[in-house]
Every structure is written in C-alpha cells, then in structure tokens.
Structure 1
Amino acid sequence: MTTPEATAVRRGRRRDAEENRDRILLAARTLLVTDPGASMDDVARAAGVVRRTVYGHFPNRDALLAGLADMAAADMLAALSRVDRTTLDPSVALAEFSMTIWTAGDQYRLLMTLAECEYGTAGLRDLLAPIRAQAMELLVRGRDAGRFATHLPLPVLSATMQAITLSLLQAVNDGLWTDDGVRAARAVLVAAGLPPGEADEAIAQALIAHH
C-alpha cells in the first residue's frame, strides 16, 4: 500500500527532475547560440548540475539538440498565438507576425544555429513547418487583397522572407547591427511588395496590436 508520504516523495522527485531538465535546456540554449560546439560537459557546468544528470535526461548530444529544437519551436508557436491576426489587414498582420518572430529571436537564432550543426537543415524545415504555414496564410490573404507582389510564386516568396529574417538575425549575432524588430519587419514587408511608406504605416498599426 502506497502511503501519502511516499506519493509526496515521488511527486517531489518528478518535480525536481522536470526542473533539472528545464535548467539543462535553458543553459544549453544560451550556450549553443554563442558556442555551437559546446560539449555535454560544458552544458552540465552551465546548468550547474553534474554530467550524470545531463545524461540522465539526454543520453547523447543528438537527444539534447532534439529537445532544444522542440522547445524552441514550441516557444515560437506560443509567441505567435498571442495575437489574433485574422482581424487585421494582411499587411498589418504580416508586420505583427514579423515583429513577433523577432521578439522571439533567441529561439529563432537557436534554430538557425542547430541547422548549422548536427541537427541539420531537414530537421529545421520540419520544425519551421507550422510557422511557415502561418506565414503562407498571411501571404495568400495579402495577395488575394491585392496588397502583395505577384512576381514570385508564393512558396518562393515565403522562403525569401524567411531567408531575410534569418540573415538579419545572423547580422545581430555577428554584431553588425541592432534592431527592435521594426527594421526587420520593414524589410519583410518590402520584400512582400509593399512600398516603404505603406510598410511603415502597417508597422505603426502592428505595433499597437503587438503590445
């Protein structure tokens, strides 16, 4: 027969294990953005746990990278879900979408870093698929409304905007510039076909929705 005390002990151990796992992932996220080659020992030191604890949750580096990628993608989707863009003008919705991506830039930069190491570009494409689907929906709305350019097929336009965002985030990583998301959103909107003046108007309205 299980006693209440034993049940409480098991729950406490599970909670401690979950907290350790989260601590390891957060430490690894911070570490790998600046040092993609960091070892499992490096991660353990950054998390303030012993190596055995890290391996207890992630038996190898691939498992750790997969856990990080899943966490980053989930955080990105959670951030994107906080605003209802269906009621916004397509250009305003795309501006807000872009600024949300930028605000969650730590996760996006992490995904980019993982794509350049063992996790690979195929895994990145899978993780970004739900985010890419939301961007595609906004592009379809904007093109149907006559707001966005038609010179590129929609999948190509979507890929172009994603590449612009990743390049701008990498520029931040490289110390080439800083941005609060406004200039990045302008670059995305202009790439979608909006004149700069209209892009600035859309961003001004998106800032209201974003906050």
Structure 2
Amino acid sequence: MSDGRRRRDAEENRDRILRAARTLLARQPGASMDDLAQAAGVVRRTVYAHFPNRDELLAGLADRCAADLLAALGRTDRDGLEPEVALADYALTVWAAGEQYRLLISLAESNLGTAGLRELLHPIAAQSSTLLARARESGRFATHLPLPVLSANLQAMTLAMMQAVNDGLWAEGGARAAVAVLVAAGLPVAEAEAATRRASQVRHVPPDGDGEVRSVSQNVAQG
C-alpha cells in the first residue's frame, strides 16, 4: 500500500471516528472508547491510534464541531441582508446545527473550562455580536442591555430552547426560536416574525453530518 493511500485511509478513519463520536456522545455522554469503536465500525486500536485518550478525543471533537458550525455560518453572506434578517438567519443556522452546537457547549464546559469555552466559541460569538451591533445601529432594536450581556443571554436562551426540545417540552424546527431570539434582542414581535420569514428564504447547507443539502426554509417548515 502506498504512503498516499495510507494517509487517505488514516484521514478517513479519523473522520469516521469523529462523526461517530458526535452522534454517540450527543446521546450517551458517558459512552466508552469501546462503545465509540463499535459505533465507528473500527477496532479499538484504531481509535487509540488517532486519539490516545478520551480527553484528546473530546478536544478533537470540539474543534470539529466548532469548525463545522463556522462553515455553516459562512455559507450565507449576511452583509447584504437587512440587520434583522441577518440576525434571524444567524439564529436559524445555529438552530439547524443544534445537536452539534449543544454538544460543542457541553464538551467545552466539561473538558475545557470557562476559558477554553470562551476561546472555542469566540469566532461564533463574534459573529453574533457584530450582527447585534448592526441591528442596534438600524434604530429598530431596543437598547435595554449592554451588547456583551445581551449576546451571552441570547446564547443561554438558545441552549435552553434546544434543551426544551430534548426534554419533549416543545416541538420546534427553528422559526419560533429565531423569533424569540429577535424579540429578546429588542425587536417587536411582528417585525421579528416578518424578518424570520424573509430569512427562511436564504439558502445554505446546514451541517447535519450526512452531507444532505437543505435550505433554511425547509428547516423552518419542519417547525
């Protein structure tokens, strides 16, 4: 076997392990490395060849989740959108990537600590802060909280809404969650609903882990 083929096989195995870990740990946070090897369809030795211990596996998975979410957020050019539509699209994109977003937060909180969590989420949070600043400059949003406080609150609220879906308290495909984010950010309800409807027409590819191409509007329709 050529060196090039070995490298490709190794990369494919690493990718397979991370995909399996993302699915397995989102449902069973305490799953063992043996469980992961079985889920990935590889032997335990292969898992340890790429990730010598659980901490390295979790760190690699957190990096992958963050990169995938940033890639999803980068598939839409929000600079040309109205501020409220851009913020709604951001909220819809994060919601579409909900499972890995929840997993990312969980991994960072439990394995990286507060400083690690902030560092990992900084590029994502920076986009939210930029969109919120643009929204305020439009004059259509209330200014009831400092931007850093508002950004942190919106992140916590989004996670709480996702957890409500997990707990069976809510069936939601994203539209109402996006409206809630815009209202909490200071936009009147009717305007938040209109912005979310417009944002639902913006097409991109959410990171669903299987390569399936979908649009935000399809995710919204599911809610």
TM-score tier by shorter-chain length is: over 0.9
Alignment correspondent of 1:118: 111
How far apart, in 2, do the equivalents of 1:70 and 1:197 lie? 38
Per the normalisation by structure 2, the TM-score is 0.88
Alignment correspondent of 1:136: 129
Q: CA RMSD in A?
A: 1.3
Deviations 1:93-141 (A, max 9, x none): 0000000111111220211321453343432221111010001011111
Alignment correspondent of 1:199: 192
Per the normalisation by structure 1, the TM-score is 0.92
Deviations 1:34-75 (A, max 9, x none): 111111111111111111111100011110001000000000
2:67 pairs with 1:74:
yes
2:133 is matched by which residue type in structure 1?
V
2:95 pairs with 1:95:
no
Runs of 4+ aligned residues of structure 1 deviating over 6 Å after TM superposition are none
The structure richer in helix per residue is: 1
Alignment of 1:17-96 (within 5 A): 17-96=10-89
Alignment of 1:156-167 (within 5 A): 156-167=149-160
Asked whether the equivalents of residues 36 and 117 of structure 1 are also in contact (C-alpha less than 8 Å), the reply is no
* Counterpart pick for 2:142 among 149, 163, 170: 149
**Count of residue pairs the alignment pairs up:** 204
Identity %: 67
Asked whether the equivalents of residues 36 and 113 of structure 1 are also in contact (C-alpha less than 8 Å), the reply is no
Alignment correspondent of 2:98: 105
State the secondary structure of the residue aligned to 1:118. helix
How far apart, in 1, do the equivalents of 2:115 and 2:48 lie? 25
1:207 is matched by which residue type in structure 2?
S
How far apart, in 2, do the equivalents of 1:178 and 1:111 lie? 22
